[in-house]
Amino acid sequence: MLGKKKEEKKTNVIVWVLAIIGAVAAVAAIAYAVYRYMQPDYLDDFDDDFDDDFDDDLFEDEDEDTPEE
């Protein structure tokens, strides 16, 4: 009779530990989902030709600044 009570108590502690870990994981997953939903995605608005526009202007300015021979 005494052995059965110890075994039942041991499994009860394991169940509580797993329940607490599961609850923390669920809260973390919900917090991450809310963060991802609220955070704007700036990569969708990024223009791939952005660098090309400035490179062309840079080379045009260098050509104008060089003295003519």
What is the chain's pLDDT, residue by residue, as a tens digit (69 residues)? Answer: 557 777 888 889 999 999 999 999 999 999 999 999 998 777 666 666 555 555 555 555 555 555 555
Provide the pLDDT for residue 10.
85
Provide the pLDDT for residue 3.
72
Determine if the pTM surpasses 0.85. no
Residues 10 and 14: their CA atoms lie apart, in Å, by 6
Instruction: Output b/e per residue, 40-57; b: 16+ Cβ within 10 A.
Output: eeeeeeeeeeeeeeeeee
Supply 15's token pair.
Answer: 């169940």
